[in-house]
């Protein structure tokens, strides 16, 4: 096939760099936006924090005569060559450490905590072990997961010790050290292989009362029946009544199924949700407020604007260095202006979208009743504000709103619709709320199956199938009827 050249006309729709910047900033939550602004200020010296005093919308450097005006003494003394000097004095020569003893020290302490494995190693160092035994126990501790379980087979641990540490041992020795040393550490349950072993280790350390001995017997010999809640088999084989079984089960459910997590709580970072919006109720009026952190005061540097004005007053043709400096200053000013415009457009888009959501779900924001949430999808809001669905999706992503009834993610208010017996469209969230209320009010000795729940919902006017009930129940994190059974 021969190569040939041809001309074609095409219509393409491409996003400008400014539009791409706006789209990326729309989906940022408050904390990420603060970090983005900080990075931009550090990278662009023409961008400053603070309220803008005068705004320069256009920069015209082609017409020098039109820019000429009477200069002040400070402007006459201004020489841009001072900024072009390569022999800059290092910053450290302008720093001083001669602080007075009376000055308050503003440094913040950095909190640190030992990790889960470090605490176990500290306990291991207190035990009297040979060098080989210490190395084996150290390897076992390093093999534990965050929950405190040993998920690897003993044979695999023996192979790891031989290949990685050149320690020749046997399965019996590793098993012995695991059960007598590692599993003897605190918290109880560390080094277990499964949940049954974890609970047994904890129950054996308790004071052996009648209830504890019953719970231990259940875990040792009737664990499968306990998990499947076949309580009749347990009471008949142990020859106990329901009250004794209830006390034993109460003892078991207070044990810790993940002992390693209890040691990780202090070192886990605290996650704090910062709401992007606040909805206040004043009688029948709803007021939407944007978090002040989403509306920072930014301005373009006046010094950089003056530099550009100074270039415009240059007589004659500027040299290469002056042209490069002029282009650099103009580029930084344009970048700062684009960034400030993107922040303003982001604020405007966030407010318009949130106001549309509040207007759509007005009944809920006035009452806080979850059953009054209307079915709402991204398309409904996009049509109201005359924007694309992707824009609404970016706004609702990782954003939170604070209301009088709690703080919710924006996606909480979006849901699909169902049609009830009266032909009205209702939100699936309303159906889930009614389903949850039905399960909370059921007889726990004989909990309703999904078929029974479907019949109850049908009696309330919601004609949905059993499989749909099962799907909603799983989304709510509610187990099946057999696992909800209580004595």
SS3 90: coil
* pLDDT per 10-residue tile (average), the chain, 487 residues: 76 65 76 82 81 50 41 43 44 49 47 72 87 89 86 88 86 89 87 88 86 88 85 84 86 86 55 82 85 76 77 71 79 83 86 90 86 84 88 85 87 76 67 83 82 82 81 82 73
**Distance of alpha carbon 421 from alpha carbon 462, whole angstroms:** 6
pLDDT at 335: 83
Half-sphere exposure of 448 (CA within 13 A, CB side): 22
Q: Is residue 34 part of a domain?
A: no
Task: Based on the fold, state whether residues 209 and 255 are members of the same structural domain.
Answer: yes
- Same domain, yes or no: 286 and 388: yes
Query: 419: which DSSP letter?
Result: E
3-class SS at 272? coil
Q: Which of 129, 151, 185 is at the close of a domain?
A: 185
Q: Is residue 17 part of a domain?
A: no
Q: Report pLDDT for 395.
A: 85
Round to whole Å and give the CA distance between 349 and 343.
10
Domain around 257 = 196-266
Q: Where a domain ends, among 413, 445, 462?
A: 413
Q: Is the domain of 262 the same as that of 178?
A: no
The reply to whether 206 and 256 lie within a common domain is yes
Asked if residue 372 and residue 307 are part of one domain, the reply reads yes
Residue 143 domain-assigned (yes or no): yes
Examine the domain organization and report whether 301 and 400 are in the same domain.
yes
Q: Are residues 315 and 386 in the same domain?
A: yes
Per-residue b/e over 263-283, b at no fewer than 16 CB within 10 Å? bbeeeeeeeeeebbbbbeeee
Helix-strand-coil percent breakdown of the chain, rounded to 5? 55, 10, 40
Query: Does residue 50 form part of some domain?
Result: no
Residue 353 near residue 381 (C-beta atoms within 8 A): yes
> Would residue 476 count as lying in a domain?
yes
Q: How many domains does the chain have?
A: 4
Pairing state of beta strands 298-300 and 47-49? Answer: antiparallel
Do 257 and 161 share a structural domain?
A: no
Using a 10 angstrom Cβ sphere, with 0-12 exposed, 13-18 middle and 19 or more buried, the burial of residue 128 is: exposed
pLDDT at 238: 84
- Single residue among 384, 413, 442 that ends a domain in this structure: 413
Report the candidate in 385, 450, 466, 374 with the shortest Cα–Cα distance to residue 413: 374
- Let me know whether 140 and 206 are in one domain: no
**Is residue 373, in this structure, part of any structural domain at all?**
yes
Task: Using only the alpha carbons of the chain, give its radius of gyration.
Answer: 34
Whole-number pLDDT of residue 58 = 43
pTM, 2 dp: 0.55
- Based on the domain organization, do 129 and 230 belong to the same domain? no
Residue 444 lies in a domain: yes
Query: E strand or H helix at 312, and its extent?
Result: helix 302-312
Same domain, 174 and 215: no
* pLDDT confidence of residue 476: 82
Q: Is residue 249 part of a domain?
A: yes
If asked whether residues 285 and 338 sit together in one domain, one would say yes
């Amino acid at each position: 096939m021969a190569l040939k050249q041809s001309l074609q006309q095409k219509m393409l729709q491409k996003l400008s760099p400014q539009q791409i910047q706006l789209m990326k900033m729309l989906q940022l939550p408050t904390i990420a936006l603060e970090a983005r602004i900080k990075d931009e200020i550090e990278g662009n010296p023409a961008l400053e924090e603070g309220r803008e005093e005068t705004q320069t919308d256009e920069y015209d450097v082609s017409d020098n005569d039109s820019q000429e005006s009477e200069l002040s003494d400070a402007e006459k003394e201004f020489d841009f060559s001072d900024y072009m000097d390569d022999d800059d004095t290092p910053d450290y020569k302008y720093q001083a450490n001669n602080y007075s003893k009376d000055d308050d020290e503003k440094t913040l302490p950095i909190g640190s905590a030992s990790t889960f494995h470090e605490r176990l190693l500290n306990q291991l160092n207190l035990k009297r072990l040979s060098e080989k035994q210490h190395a084996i126990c150290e390897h076992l501790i390093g093999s534990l997961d965050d929950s405190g379980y040993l998920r690897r087979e003993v044979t695999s641990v023996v192979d790891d010790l031989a290949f990685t540490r050149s320690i020749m041992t046997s399965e019996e020795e590793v098993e012995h050290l695991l059960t007598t040393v590692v599993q003897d550490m605190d918290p109880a349950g560390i080094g277990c292989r499964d949940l049954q072993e974890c609970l047994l280790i904890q129950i054996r350390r308790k004071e052996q009362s009648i209830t504890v001995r019953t719970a231990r017997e259940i875990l040792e010999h009737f664990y499968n029946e306990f998990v499947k809640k076949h309580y009749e088999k347990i009471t008949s084989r142990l020859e106990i009544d329901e009250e004794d079984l209830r006390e034993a089960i109460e003892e078991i459910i207070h044990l810790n199924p993940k002992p390693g997590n209890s040691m990780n709580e202090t070192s886990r970072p605290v996650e704090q949700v910062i709401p992007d919006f606040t909805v206040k109720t004043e009688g029948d009026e709803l007021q939407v407020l944007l978090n002040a952190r989403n509306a920072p005061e930014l301005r373009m540097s006046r010094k950089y604007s003056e530099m550009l004005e100074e270039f415009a007053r240059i007589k004659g043709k500027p040299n290469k260095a002056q042209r490069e400096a002029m282009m650099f200053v103009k580029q930084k000013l344009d970048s700062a202006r684009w960034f400030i415009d993107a922040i303003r457009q982001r604020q405007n888009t966030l407010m318009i979208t949130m106001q549309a959501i509040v207007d759509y779900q007005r009944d809920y924001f006035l009452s806080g009743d979850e059953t009054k949430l209307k079915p709402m999808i991204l398309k409904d809001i996009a049509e109201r504000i005359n924007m694309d669905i992707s824009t609404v999706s970016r706004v609702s992503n990782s954003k939170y709103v604070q209301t009088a009834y709690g703080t919710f993610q924006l996606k909480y208010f979006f849901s699909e619709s169902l049609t009830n017996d009266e032909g009205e469209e209702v939100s699936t969230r309303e159906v889930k709320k009614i389903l949850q209320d039905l399960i909370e009010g059921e007889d726990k000795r004989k909990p309703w199956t999904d078929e029974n729940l479907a019949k109850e919902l049908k009696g309330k006017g919601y004609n949905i199938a059993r499989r749909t009930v099962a799907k909603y129940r799983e989304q709510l994190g509610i187990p099946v009827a057999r696992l909800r059974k209580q004595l």
